[in-house]
Structure 1
């Protein structure tokens, strides 16, 4: 039995380019230059878990936009199917889907982002989420099984953490939340390690120090 090659994008490298038909017209990666982008796939329209996820993304869309971030969904369905599903969500759940959804019938975008995985399905995209920065660089990606929905709040948290790390040149600890102290990059030389204790940080050891972000 031959192995199936799955192409995966790489962190901190340019995100795979695309030019695709969506519910808001043609969209390309270049359209999002200067903004953060959360690109996320779902297995199919008119499915219950996907409905909860899209409703959650739509409800939190203003919070993403406040962080200079746009949302872009994708599945291997037609534009007409996407439109019908979005209208159905609004009618049944009172949630308006305000972001575009890529109609990836050719699976071209899904394949370039590693969303098609034969271990899960040959014809549907798994639950994959990608955070792309304003320069088009892929900064984070998460894949979920088809049976389990994502936490949209976690992607908001990761986006805030990435922006904080970029602005202040720090790392963020486990479950970091805005306002929490951040981790100072460890020293790179013996001399810097010896001096770390007296640099005014919340010091635990030479490799582990924190500081507040104002």
Structure 2
């Protein structure tokens, strides 16, 4: 299991675009690794297609994508044709799908769903999402059960927040979207806030504490 702030394991694995060594593949980019229970399954087919459609948006944010499924590269290559057909995709598939037929990575990264099994009784891989920073450390993780498809608009939104807050001393509030007002960090003193965020607003609350401070996007 990898915890937030840990250096992500520098695994080597086969994929649809060749052998991937994670840290070399990422270089100075951000990365997203998202896992799937199995090839030729309905929810996964919708998910990989959705990410393929969003690939230009992730590229704008300097994010490299990687999917993982517990089947072989050969199965992945056949499945890609179904993904493209169902999701009306043309051209080359925009990101690699990693093979993990022995579930070595799924176990190492804590992605096993104990409640969902294959016909042969093997546990399925859960729908994990790992966002990895340019420093190769884990910045965000989300774990869905095999039966629940992910919202990749939310993942894109989360990347916007992670990249903003990595550079600026702000946090993003509930339902924040890129361009919206941010929260000034509680660690910033009132005097610092006046200098750093001259347009910030202090919101009055019954406690009288001045911890709710919003500012336009820095």
| Aligned ranges 1:36-185 → 2 under 5 Å | 36-96=30-90, 97-121=93-117, 122-185=122-185
Structure 2 counterpart of 1:35, from 29, 32, 41: 29
Is there any run of 5+ residues in structure 2 with no aligned partner, and where?
Answer: 204-208
Alpha-carbon distance change, 59 to 197 in structure 1, aligned in 2, over 3 angstroms = closer
Q: Which secondary structure state, in structure 1, belongs to the residue aligned with residue 157 of structure 2?
A: helix
Residues 197 and 203 of structure 1 are in contact (CA less than 8 Å); yes or no, is this contact kept in structure 2? no
Partner of 1:20 in structure 2? Answer: 13
Alpha-carbon distance change, 73 to 187 in structure 1, aligned in 2, over 3 angstroms = closer
Alpha-carbon distance change, 213 to 104 in structure 1, aligned in 2, over 3 angstroms = same
Distance 1:50 1:17 in 2: 25
* Structure 1 residue 98 displacement after superposition: 1.5
Residues 133 and 139 of structure 2 are in contact (CA less than 8 Å); yes or no, is this contact kept in structure 1? yes
Distance 1:197 1:175 in 2: 23
CA offset digits 1:107-148 (Å, max 9, x no partner): 121112111132334432111111001111100011111111
Residues 187 and 207 of structure 1 are in contact (CA less than 8 Å); yes or no, is this contact kept in structure 2? no
* Structure 1 residue 53 displacement after superposition: 0.5
Q: Which secondary structure state, in structure 2, belongs to the residue aligned with residue 44 of structure 1?
A: coil
* Structure 1 residue 93 displacement after superposition: 3.3
Distance 2:156 2:49 in 1: 15
Partner of 1:211 in structure 2? Answer: 215
Alpha-carbon distance change, 197 to 109 in structure 1, aligned in 2, over 3 angstroms = closer
TM-score by length of 1: 0.88
* Structure 1 residue 197 displacement after superposition: 8.6
CA offset digits 1:34-74 (Å, max 9, x no partner): 10111000111111111110110000000000000011000
Alpha-carbon distance change, 14 to 198 in structure 1, aligned in 2, over 3 angstroms = closer
Q: Which secondary structure state, in structure 2, belongs to the residue aligned with residue 155 of structure 1?
A: helix
* Structure 1 residue 95 displacement after superposition: 1.8
RMSD: 1.8
Aligned residues: 203
Residues 29 and 136 of structure 1 are in contact (CA less than 8 Å); yes or no, is this contact kept in structure 2? no
TM-score by length of 2: 0.87
